Amino acid sequence: MKIKLKQLLIAVPALKTLGDDKSLNIKLKHTIARNIRLIQPELDQYEKERIDLVQNKYGVIADDGSMSVLPARMKEFLGELVNLQSVEVDLDICKVGEDACINLSANEISLLDWMLEET
């Protein structure tokens, strides 16, 4: 399945809720855990690249040692983040049925629609 990094990023809270649901049957738990294992390296790589942009291109070190992006460079930085988030990755995601979503809100379900089987 091809999916943009942005879709994965915004789905993280809902995916965490789904992954923490102890009421799911063992097969669903296995499928969700497998999907999380496939997704996590992509999220880790995104975060590494985002930090690299701050540290090596747009960031400045504050007096307390923290890094931040200067307001004058924020527009450029955000533009690069938008480009990075538009990267499409190809993952072998296993879809799950709507029974996996019994404890999710409608908003959380909408964030995970790419992982749900069509009924």
- Count up the domains in the chain and report the number: 1
Query: Rounded CA gap, 49 and 56, in Å?
Result: 10
Contact 98, 4 (CB under 8 A): no
pLDDT at 119: 66
The whole domain housing 66 covers: 2-115
Round to whole Å and give the CA distance between 12 and 16. 6
pLDDT of residue 112: 94
CA distances from residue 115 to 2, 33, 36, 58, 118 in whole angstroms, order as listed:
11, 13, 11, 35, 9
C-alpha–C-alpha distance, residues 114 and 36, integer Å:
14
**Token pair 């990094």: residue:** 5
Q: Which two tokens stand for residue 42?
A: 């992509």
- What does the pLDDT look like over 64-86, one tens digit per residue? 988 899 899 999 999 999 999 99
Q: Which residues of the chain have pLDDT under 70?
A: 119
